[in-house]
């Protein structure tokens, strides 16, 4: 007998999977401008009362450290969403087999 929860769990798993794909796709294309990184560093320095570190490397106008940090953040979200999707699939299969 299939539980009434199984279709809902399957739909949730699909949605988490799609969100995961979206986060990983965005991680592959996200870029951070040098100006945005400099503005953030100046704001943090003013808040902390220190001098901003304005050093950095750019490639085609994009800040490397800022871009890599943004890509890492979005990739982590993609992995977490994929883990939720897989966990829901496992729960759905477990419920269906009972």
pTM, to two decimals: 0.82
| pLDDT for the residue 1 | 54
pLDDT tens profile 40-96: 999 989 998 888 888 888 888 899 999 999 999 999 999 999 999 999 999 999 988
How far is C-alpha 80 from the chain's CA centre? 8
Contact 52, 81 (CB under 8 A): no
| pLDDT for the residue 74 | 98
Say yes or no to pLDDT of 5 above 60. yes
Which residues are CB-contacts of 41 (< 8 A; sequence separation ≥ 6)? 52, 53, 54
């Amino acid at each position: 007998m299939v539980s009434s929860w199984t279709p809902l769990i399957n739909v949730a798993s699909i949605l988490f999977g799609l969100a995961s794909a979206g986060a990983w796709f965005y991680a592959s294309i996200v870029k951070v401008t040098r100006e945005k990184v400099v503005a953030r560093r100046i704001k943090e320095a003013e808040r902390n009362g220190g001098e901003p570190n304005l050093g950095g490397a750019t490639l085609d106008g994009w800040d490397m450290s800022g871009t890599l940090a943004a890509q890492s953040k979005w990739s982590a979200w993609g992995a977490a969403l994929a883990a939720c999707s897989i966990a829901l699939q496992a729960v759905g299969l477990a419920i269906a087999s009972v």
